[in-house]
Amino acid sequence: SAVISQKPSRDICQRGTSLTIQCQVDSQVTMMFWYRQQPGQSLTLIATANQGSEATYESGFVIDKFPISRPNLTFSTLTVSNMSPEDSSIYLCSVVTGGPYEQYFGPGTRLTVT
Amino acid sequence: QQQVKQSPQSLIVQKGGISIINCAYENTAFDYFPWYQQFPGKGPALLIAIRPDVSEKKEGRFTISFNKSAKQFSLHIMDSQPGDSATYFCAASFEDRKLIWGLGTSLAVNP
């Protein structure tokens, strides 16, 4: 497995502002993903964070709203831009490590937009 | 369109009992089927997983049963304990490792 940390763990933000969430892994990983989870609900994949190239976004998510950076194999950021209350959610990063299939998750960032 | 259907939505089991959660999938291209356990305020934790060439996998009190022809898989928790109370998610992935999630099962184990 891997030790994955996320910053911040939680934040309360004003409508119209942006928040950048950091994901740090204790080892180099090739595959990294960003998910969103509404409280009490399942997870939805936002994008695949590709090292050295643009992220690959899932249907319903766009780069202007959720820009992602992946400068190296241990770090990525997700920015939630021009936030609205509908963006209130838990944002999670995950990595594939320890085997070709095993995916591990960070602790999540709980975002509340007022 | 939900590609992985999970049931039941919630489950109450007595301590020492067996908890059973079921999932069904549609896409035969899935090649990996994990179960995750999530406690409130935490990220999902990989519990146990199976590939379609195996019909059963056991790790401690947790067992996955896999029925390829029926496109179903299930999680069995033997000797359920209050500490097992959590939300459990099944998932499935393709070669690209993107996880398609079930909607989750909230398990409560009564002492």
The stretch A20-45 carries a mean pLDDT of 94
Residue A98 pLDDT more than 80?
no
Q: By the CB < 8 Å criterion, does A92 face chain B?
A: yes
The stretch A62-89 carries a mean pLDDT of 96
| Contacts with A22 (C-beta within 8 Å, 6 or more apart), sequence order | A6, A7, A75, A76, A77
The pLDDT value given to residue B24: 98
The pLDDT value given to residue A80: 98
For chain A, the residue count is: 114
DSSP A58: P
Q: Quickly state the pLDDT bin for A100 (edges 50, 70, 90).
A: confident
If one counts every other C-beta atom within 10 angstroms of the C-beta of residue A3, the result is: 10
The pLDDT value given to residue A3: 93
Give the whole-angstrom CA distance, residue A106 versus residue A91: 9
**Peptide bond before A39: cis, by omega within 30 degrees of 0?**
no
Are B43 and A42 within 8 A, CB to CB? no
DSSP B7-53: E-SEEEEETTS-EEEEEEE--TT--BEEEEEE-TTS--EEEEEE-TT
Model confidence pLDDT, tens digit, residues A35-75? 999 988 999 999 999 888 889 999 999 999 999 999 999 99
Q: Quickly state the pLDDT bin for A16 (edges 50, 70, 90).
A: very high
Q: Burial letters for B1-16: b for 16+ Cβ neighbours within 10 Å, e otherwise? A: eeebebbeeebebeee
Structure tokens that stand for A112 in this block: 């509340």
Residue A107 pLDDT more than 90?
yes
Answer positive or negative: Cα dihedral of A114, A32, B92, A45. Answer: positive
Give the whole-angstrom CA distance, residue B12 versus residue B33: 24
Give the whole-angstrom CA distance, residue B7 versus residue B105: 7
Of the residues A103, A104, A109, A110, the best mutation for testing chain B's interface (the one with the most B CB atoms within 10 Å of its CB) is A103
- The answer to whether the beta carbons of residues B36 and B103 sit under 8 Å apart is no
The pLDDT value given to residue B2: 62
* Chain mean pLDDT for chain A: 94
Are B97 and A107 within 8 A, CB to CB? no
Residue type at position B41: G
Give the whole-angstrom CA distance, residue B95 versus residue B66: 19
Give the closest of B44, B97, B102 to A96, CB-based. B97
The pLDDT value given to residue A51: 83
The pLDDT value given to residue B18: 98
pLDDT in tens, chain B (111 residues): 568 999 999 999 999 999 999 999 999 999 999 999 999 999 999 999 999 999 999 999 999 999 999 999 999 999 999 999 999 999 999 877 889 999 999 999 999
The pLDDT value given to residue B87: 97
Are A101 and B32 within 8 A, CB to CB? yes
Share of chain A above pLDDT 90, in %: 84
The pLDDT value given to residue A64: 97
